[in-house]
Amino acid sequence: MLAGLLSAASVTAQAKCPVDGAIQIADMSWASASAIAQIESKILQLGYDCKTELIPGETVTTATTMVKKGRPHIAPEVWSSNIATLLDEGVQSGTVSIAGKVFAGGGMDAWWVPKYVVEQYPDIKSVQDMARYSHLFKSTGSDKGRFYNSLPGWSNETRSTNLFHGYGLDKQYELYSAGSGAALDSAIASNYKRKKPVFFYYWAPSAILGKYDMVKLDMNAYDPANDSCNTQADCKTPIAGGYPVVDVNTLVVSKIKDGAPELYQFLSKVSFENDTVNKLLAWGEDNKAEPKEVAEHFLKNHQDIWTTWVPQDVADKVISRLE
């Protein structure tokens, strides 16, 4: 039954949908974006009687085709800093619009330790404090602590590396790459389950932060001018700065904004607190659920959130039609 709830194929539309044909929604390759695409698809199907089609995509390719060709119609989770120039072009030309912030608190990069470490050592509050506690985080065969860095090839790996040097932690810690997201997750989970100290970079929202109780370490405030060197691989003077909070937006083409204002109004209200997404993704991992099943779980169990995005009659239709 679940397999048919949120398929990538179009569903039969009723006459009330303000858009002719299927509404294409970008189905990005990471868990949160795929789940949100499925949530929006289901609300459009059940609440607005629209056909939908989920289109596989990535940030740059999806945004490019939206700006240049007007397809897909909706990208539910666009990390805007990754496509700033392209996004400006599309907004200025009127081909796309930023409907709203899908993550109310923005996308977050940070450094973390488990809560049980802070409970045992309550004066650990900031990255600067970590210099005094490197002995807790020693790896086998090393006299230094281990810091699990951002993933290789990611744009923020350079920033994270420079922050590591800017805070002078290279004197007490080794900069360690787990090599992949799966390996990083495994290292964090393994240490957490054994109640071992672990010091690591991670992003939010994410399943890891929904499954395990972590504390974000304070950093100096991010300043674009002051921290600009930290984005450069050849930065000679790394700064003890911070990470920017990234706007993560719903991107919509003009066909939807201009031709279906009631749908645009709905999409403009889609917004999640990071902690909600963390826990939703954690539920998905724990239950080995497909994104469509994660979406159904959200729609059934978090009506207090999504019913505020739509008019009451639309919410009632979705609830009555959920299987």
Q: What is the pLDDT along the chain (323 residues), one digit of tens a residue?
A: 434 443 333 333 345 899 999 999 999 988 999 999 999 999 999 999 999 999 999 888 999 999 999 999 999 999 887 788 999 999 999 999 999 999 998 999 999 999 999 999 999 999 999 999 999 999 888 899 999 999 887 778 999 999 999 999 999 999 999 998 889 999 999 999 999 999 999 999 999 999 999 999 999 999 999 899 999 999 999 999 999 988 999 999 999 999 999 999 999 999 999 999 999 999 999 999 999 999 999 999 999 999 999 999 999 999 999 97
Tokens read off for 1: 């039954």
Q: Given this model, what pLDDT does residue 140 score?
A: 83
Q: Check residue 154 and give its pLDDT.
A: 78
User: What confidence score (pLDDT) does residue 95 get?
Assistant: 95
For residue 65, give the nearest of 24, 101, 29 by alpha carbon: 24
List residues bridging with 56 in a β-sheet. Answer: 27
pLDDT of residue 153: 79
252-263: string of b/e by CB count within 10 Å (b at 16+)?
bbbebbeebeeb
In whole angstroms, what separates CA 149 from the centre of its chain? 18
Query: Which domains are seen in the chain, by residue range?
Result: 2-105+246-321 (3.40.190.10), 108-231 (3.40.190.100)
Scanning the structure block, which residue is given the tokens 């050849």? Answer: 234
User: What is the structure's pLDDT at 145?
Assistant: 96
